[in-house]
């Protein structure tokens, strides 16, 4: 996002939170179930726009002023907190069409974090984002009916890092995501993104963050008066790899908001978990963008 606030999301099943954001646009923020309703500080990232697609990263930006902002969360999926830690995610993601009318900002994402250590951990996530047309153009050059996509890492709840420019994708594009944590103490996270519908073009390989992540979540997030998603989101062949087996991880699997998902399964005692399909329904059916 050209001006970005980043994921620190505390989710109650009401899905409504007050946050303090910096600057005028919006960007994702993260939550999770079974936590108290809280106000939190989440940074905006005012980014200078570069023609480079991948190179520069924004971190520790200036914060000229504050503005109270609301974030709401729609359907979500989670596997709860593991006593092990995640070291890899692969999935193929189809975001669906964005809303026809841009009100506020909409973010959809799968992410890893540590629910019990938000203040010191990392949120590792790739985000499809939708804003008004001028912000979309500034953020990634997107045209009508497109999303911007890029990787994010939020460290210690407030240090937000992302490439300066996102990439434009269509709602029907099959986006392959891979998050991999390098081995060893302090190994870094690498988020790789490919567009399978555009010849397998590699959009990003982004190395940031090194904290242990123990929670997986798929989320839909709205800010600035946005009312939610307009089309169905799909996740296919989602594979989650743990450092050490957690045979009971699948028992903590939850979905809300009429999400349809196959149950997570493991064939090796709980180190590798597989979810064949996740279907996240639109919050505002019939309001998706249509070609003219």
Look at residue 93 and tell me if it is in a domain.
yes
Look at residue 222 and tell me if it is in a domain.
yes
Look at residue 31 and tell me if it is in a domain.
yes
pLDDT band (50, 70, 90) for residue 151: very high
Each residue's pLDDT tens digit, 152-211:
998 876 777 999 999 999 999 999 999 999 999 889 999 999 999 999 999 999 999 999
pLDDT band (50, 70, 90) for residue 215: very high
Look at residue 246 and tell me if it is in a domain.
yes
> Domain range for residue 114?
16-48+67-280
Residue 106 burial (C-beta neighbours within 10 Å; 0-12, 13-18, 19+): buried
Task: Give the residue from 158, 127, 286 showing the smallest Cα distance to 220.
Answer: 127
Q: What pLDDT sits at residue 155?
A: 85
- Domains in the chain, number: 1
Each residue's pLDDT tens digit, 40-65:
222 222 222 222 333 344 433 222 22
Is the separation of the CB atoms in 282 and 96 below 8 Å? yes
Look at residue 292 and tell me if it is in a domain.
no
Look at residue 291 and tell me if it is in a domain.
no
pTM for the whole structure: 0.81
Q: Report the half-sphere exposure of 71 (CA within 13 A, side-chain side).
A: 34
Look at residue 160 and tell me if it is in a domain.
yes
DSSP track, 34-94:
S-----EE----B----S-SSS-EE-S-----EEEEEEEE---EEEEEEEEEEEEEEEEEE
Look at residue 207 and tell me if it is in a domain.
yes
Residue 267 gets which letter from DSSP? S
């Amino acid at each position: 996002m050209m001006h970005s606030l980043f994921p620190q999301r505390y989710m109650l099943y009401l899905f409504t939170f007050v946050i303090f954001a910096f600057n005028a646009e919006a960007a994702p923020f993260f939550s999770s179930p079974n936590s108290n309703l809280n106000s939190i500080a989440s940074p905006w990232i005012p980014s200078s726009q570069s023609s480079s697609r991948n190179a520069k990263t924004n971190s520790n930006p200036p914060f000229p002023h504050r503005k109270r902002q609301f974030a709401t969360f729609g359907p979500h999926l989670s596997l709860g907190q593991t006593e092990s830690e995640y070291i890899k995610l692969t999935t193929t993601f189809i975001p669906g069409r964005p809303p026809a009318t841009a009100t506020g900002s909409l973010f959809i994402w799968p992410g890893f974090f540590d629910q019990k250590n938000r203040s010191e951990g990392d949120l590792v996530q790739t985000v499809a984002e939708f804003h008004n047309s001028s912000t979309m153009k500034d953020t990634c050059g997107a045209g009508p009916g497109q999303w911007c996509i890029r990787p994010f890492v939020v460290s210690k709840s407030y240090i937000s890092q992302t490439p300066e420019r996102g990439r434009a994708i269509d709602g029907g594009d099959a986006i392959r995501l891979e998050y991999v944590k390098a081995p060893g103490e302090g190994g870094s996270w690498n988020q790789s993104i490919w567009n399978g519908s555009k010849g397998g073009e590699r959009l990003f390989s982004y190395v940031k963050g090194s904290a242990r992540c123990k929670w997986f979540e798929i989320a839909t997030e709205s800010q600035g008066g946005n009312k939610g998603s307009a089309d169905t989101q799909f996740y296919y062949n989602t594979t989650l790899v743990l450092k050490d087996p957690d045979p009971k991880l699948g028992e903590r699997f939850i979905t809300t908001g009429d999400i349809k998902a196959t149950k997570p399964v493991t064939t090796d005692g709980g180190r590798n978990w597989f979810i064949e399909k996740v279907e996240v329904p639109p919050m505002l059916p019939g309001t998706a963008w249509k070609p003219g």
